[in-house]
C-alpha cells in the first residue's frame, strides 16, 4: 500500500513540474515573438495552447493576449477579454494591475478621457498599496500616464512625467520599455525639435537592436512626419524612403499603409501628383488589407469565445446531470427497500421524466443554436456597416484629392473659385461621415452630433480665409438623423460661404459670424448672423448658393426668415417631434 501511495505522489509531483515548465516555456516563446512584433504568431500560439492551462496560468495568458490584441488594434476584443479577467474571483494583484493598464490604453485609443483616467487611478492605487510591483510595472505606468496627459490634458506635464519614467527606467535598468519610452519623450518634446528628434532616433536604434522591423518602419515614418511638421521635406523624403525599404520585412499592414501615405504627402508637396496618387492608392490597398486581417481575427476570436461558452454550458449540463442522477439513485435505493409497487411506479415516472428531459434538452440546443446564429448575424451586420461607411469616407477622400489636384492645375480664377466651393461642399459631406454614429438596433437612429459638426465646418473655412474672422458659437449637443445632419451641414456651409464671399463689415471692423442652435421639445431653433452691412445672396436669388439653402431647409422639413444679415431657421429634430414642429413652422410662415 505504501508503495502505491509513493508512486502516485511521484506521478503528481512530476505532472505539476511539467505543467509549470510548459507554461514558462510557452510564455517565453510568446514574449520573444512580441519583442519582434510577431503579434499574429503570438496570438496563434496562445490560442492553440489556451485550453492546456488552468487557474492563474490561464489568466496570465489572457492578460498577455490583451496586450497582443491592443497591438493589433482589436480594442473591442481586448475590452471584452479584460472584462472577463476582472470578473474572476481572487485575481492576483499583478495581473489585475496589468489589466487596468491595458484598459487605460483601450480607452485612450477610443478617446474616452474619463474612463482612461479612472483606469490609471486604479493602477496607481494598486502600485501605492503594493510597492513590490513597481520594478516590473512602474515605468510602463508612467508611459501610459504621459500618453494620457499628452492627448487629453497637459502637454508640458506629459513631458515631465515621461522624464520621470526615463529616470526610473535608468534606476532599475529597465530596457523592456526603452523604445516606447523614447517615443513618449519625443512626442512630448515637439516644442523642442532637436530634443524630440534625438528621442525618436534613440527609439529607432532600440528597434534596430531587437531587429523589430515593424518598429523600425514605424519610427522611420514618425521621423519623416516630424520633418514634414518642420517643413524639411528633403529630410522627410529620405526617412520615408528608408521606411519603404523596410516594408518587405514588415508584418503589420496598417504601418505599411502609414508609410505609403506619408510618401504620398511628400510627393504631393513636390507637385509630383501622379506619383503622389500612386502611393496614396498603395496606402489605401494596405489599409484595406488591414481591415480584412482585423475582420479575420475578429471572426477567429468570436469562434474561440463561442467554443468557450459552449464548453462551459456543456460542463454545467454534465454537472447538473450528475447531481440529478445521484439524487435519483438514492431515491430509487430507498424505494426498492420499501415496496416493489413503488419501484414500478418510479420506473414509470422516470420514463415520463426522461421524455420530458429529452424534449427540454432538444429545445435548449435549438435555442442555443438560434442565439449563436443571431449573434453572428449582428456582428456581420456591424462589420458591413463599418465597412460601408469606411469605403464612403475613403471614396470622398479620393474625390477631394482629385478636386484639389484639379484646382491646382486650373489657371482661370473664376473656375478656381467654383472648384474651391465644390471642394468645401463635398468636404462638408465628408466631415459628416467622419462624425457618423450608428445604432445597430435601428439604422433609422443613426445620428450626427451638430455641435462638433458645426465646429469642423467653421474650421474648414477658417483655414483658407485670408482676413481676420471672429466666430462665436452657442450650440447645444443635438443629435440629428444622418440625412438631416448632412442637410444641416450643407446649409451651414452655404451660409458661411456667402458670409465670407459677400458680407462687408463696417470699415475697420473684422468680419464677425455668430451661430446659435437650441432645441426645445424636439424642435431646433437656429439663428445665423454676420455683421456685414451687405449680404450678397439678395443680389442673386437664382444663384446656386441660394438654391442650396432653400433646398436644404426643405430637406430639414423647416422654414426660415431673414432680417438684414440674420437667418432664423426652425426645423424638427426627428420624426417624433414632427407634429409640434409643423405647428411652429406653420406659425412662422
Residue ranges covered by each domain of the chain = 442-588
For cell 490583451, the residue is 66
pLDDT at 83: 92
User: 442-588 adopts what CATH topology?
Assistant: Heat Shock Protein 90 (3.30.565)
pLDDT at 364: 81
Average pLDDT over residues 162-179: 78
Segment among 91-100, 147-156, 274-283 with least mean pLDDT: 147-156
Q: How many percent of the chain have pLDDT more than 90?
A: 18
How would residue 3 be classed by pLDDT, with cut points 50, 70 and 90?
very low
Segment among 34-43, 333-342, 497-506 with least mean pLDDT: 34-43
pLDDT at 20: 62
How would residue 579 be classed by pLDDT, with cut points 50, 70 and 90?
very low
- Stated pTM of the model: 0.45
CA distance linking residue 52 with residue 54, whole number of Å = 7
Better-predicted residue by pLDDT, 378 or 568: 568
pLDDT at 194: 80
Long-range contacts formed by 281-285: CB under 8 A, 24+ apart: 283/257, 283/258, 283/259, 284/257, 284/394, 284/398
C-alpha dist (Å) from residue 456 to 338, 393, 459, 463, 489: 85, 16, 5, 11, 10
On the question of pLDDT at 40 being above 70, the answer is yes
**8 Å CB contact between 475 and 492:** no
Q: What angle do CA 371, 374, 380 make, to 5 degrees?
A: 140
Average pLDDT over residues 50-76: 86
Going by C-alpha positions, the residue among 15, 77, 18 that lies closest to residue 46 is: 77
Better-predicted residue by pLDDT, 386 or 576: 386
- For the ranges 202-211, 213-222, 417-426, the maximum mean pLDDT occurs at 213-222
pLDDT at 261: 93
Q: What is the pLDDT of residues 139-149, one digit of tens each?
A: 889 888 888 88
pLDDT at 311: 58
Calculate the average pLDDT of the chain. Answer: 80
CA distance linking residue 546 with residue 387, whole number of Å = 35
Q: Which three cell numbers stand for residue 235?
A: 529630410
Average pLDDT over residues 234-253: 89
How would residue 402 be classed by pLDDT, with cut points 50, 70 and 90?
confident
Q: Which helix (H) or strand (E) holds 461?
A: helix 450-462
For cell 519625443, the residue is 186
- For the ranges 25-29, 290-294, 306-310, the maximum mean pLDDT occurs at 25-29
Listing DSSP states for 363-378 in one string gives HHHHHHHHHHHHHHHH
Q: What is the pLDDT of residues 540-560, one digit of tens each?
A: 445 777 888 888 899 888 998
pLDDT at 130: 93
Q: What is the pLDDT of residues 441-500, one digit of tens each?
A: 544 557 889 889 899 898 888 877 788 888 999 998 888 888 888 899 999 999 998 888
pLDDT at 123: 93
On the question of pLDDT at 397 being above 80, the answer is no
Amino acid at each position: 500500500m505504501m508503495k502505491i501511495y509513493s508512486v502516485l505522489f511521484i506521478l503528481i509531483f512530476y505532472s505539476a513540474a511539467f505543467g509549470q515548465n510548459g507554461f514558462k516555456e510557452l510564455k517565453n516563446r510568446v514574449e520573444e515573438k512580441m519583442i519582434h512584433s510577431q503579434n499574429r504568431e503570438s496570438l496563434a500560439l496562445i490560442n492553440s495552447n489556451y485550453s492546456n492551462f488552468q487557474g492563474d496560468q490561464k489568466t496570465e495568458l489572457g492578460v498577455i493576449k490583451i496586450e497582443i490584441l491592443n497591438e493589433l488594434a482589436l480594442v473591442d476584443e481586448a475590452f471584452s477579454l479584460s472584462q472577463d479577467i476582472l470578473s474572476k474571483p481572487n485575481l492576483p494583484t499583478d495581473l489585475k494591475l496589468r489589466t487596468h493598464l491595458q484598459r487605460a490604453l483601450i480607452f485612450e485609443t477610443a478617446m474616452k478621457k474619463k474612463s482612461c483616467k479612472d483606469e490609471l487611478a486604479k493602477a496607481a492605487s494598486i502600485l501605492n498599496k503594493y510597492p513590490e510591483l513597481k520594478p516590473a510595472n512602474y515605468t510602463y505606468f508612467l508611459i501610459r500616464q504621459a500618453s494620457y496627459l499628452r492627448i487629453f490634458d497637459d502637454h508640458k506635464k506629459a513631458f515631465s512625467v515621461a522624464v520621470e519614467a526615463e529616470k526610473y527606467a535608468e534606476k532599475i535598468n529597465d530596457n523592456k520599455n526603452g523604445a516606447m519610452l523614447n517615443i513618449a519623450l519625443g512626442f512630448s518634446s515637439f516644442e523642442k525639435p532637436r530634443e524630440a528628434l534625438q528621442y525618436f532616433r534613440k527609439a529607432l536604434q532600440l528597434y534596430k537592436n531587437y531587429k523589430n522591423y515593424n518598429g523600425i518602419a514605424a519610427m522611420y515614418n514618425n521621423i519623416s512626419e516630424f520633418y514634414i511638421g518642420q517643413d524639411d521635406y528633403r529630410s522627410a523624403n529620405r526617412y520615408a524612403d528608408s521606411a519603404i525599404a523596410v516594408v518587405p520585412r514588415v508584418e503589420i499592414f496598417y504601418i505599411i499603409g502609414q508609410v505609403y501615405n506619408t510618401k504620398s504627402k511628400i510627393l504631393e508637396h513636390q507637385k509630383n501628383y501622379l506619383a503622389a496618387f500612386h502611393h496614396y492608392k498603395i496606402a489605401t490597398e494596405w489599409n484595406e488589407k488591414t481591415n480584412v486581417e482585423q475582420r479575420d481575427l475578429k471572426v477567429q476570436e468570436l469562434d474561440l469565445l463561442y467554443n468557450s461558452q459552449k464548453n462551459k454550458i456543456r460542463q454545467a449540463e454534465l454537472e447538473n446531470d450528475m447531481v440529478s442522477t445521484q439524487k435519483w439513485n438514492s431515491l430509487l435505493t430507498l424505494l426498492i427497500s420499501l415496496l416493489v409497487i413503488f419501484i414500478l411506479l418510479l420506473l414509470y415516472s422516470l420514463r415520463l421524466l426522461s421524455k420530458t428531459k429529452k424534449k427540454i434538452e432538444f429545445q435548449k440546443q435549438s435555442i442555443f443554436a438560434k442565439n449563436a446564429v443571431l449573434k453572428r448575424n449582428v456582428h456581420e451586420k456591424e462589420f458591413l456597416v463599418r465597412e460601408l461607411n469606411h469605403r464612403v469616407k475613403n471614396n470622398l477622400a479620393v474625390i477631394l484629392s482629385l478636386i484639389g489636384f484639379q484646382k491646382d492645375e486650373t489657371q482661370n480664377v473664376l473656375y478656381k473659385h467654383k472648384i474651391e466651393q465644390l471642394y468645401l461642399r463635398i468636404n462638408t459631406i465628408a466631415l459628416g461621415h467622419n462624425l457618423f454614429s450608428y445604432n445597430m438596433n435601428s439604422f433609422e437612429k443613426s445620428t450626427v452630433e451638430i455641435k462638433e459638426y458645426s465646429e469642423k465646418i467653421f474650421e474648414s473655412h477658417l483655414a483658407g480665409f485670408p482676413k481676420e474672422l471672429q466666430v462665436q458659437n452657442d450650440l447645444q449637443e443635438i443629435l440629428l438623423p444622418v440625412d438631416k445632419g448632412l442637410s444641416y451641414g450643407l446649409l451651414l456651409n452655404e451660409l458661411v460661404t456667402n458670409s465670407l464671399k459677400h458680407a462687408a463689415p463696417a470699415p475697420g471692423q473684422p468680419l464677425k459670424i455668430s451661430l446659435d442652435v437650441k432645441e426645445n421639445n424636439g424642435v431646433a431653433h437656429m439663428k445665423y448672423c454676420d455683421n456685414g452691412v451687405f449680404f450678397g445672396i439678395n443680389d442673386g436669388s437664382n444663384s446656386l448658393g441660394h438654391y442650396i439653402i432653400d433646398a436644404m431647409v426643405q430637406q430639414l422639413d423647416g422654414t426660415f426668415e431673414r432680417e438684414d444679415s440674420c437667418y432664423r431657421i426652425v426645423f424638427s429634430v426627428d420624426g417624433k417631434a414632427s407634429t409640434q414642429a409643423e405647428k411652429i413652422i406653420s406659425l412662422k410662415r
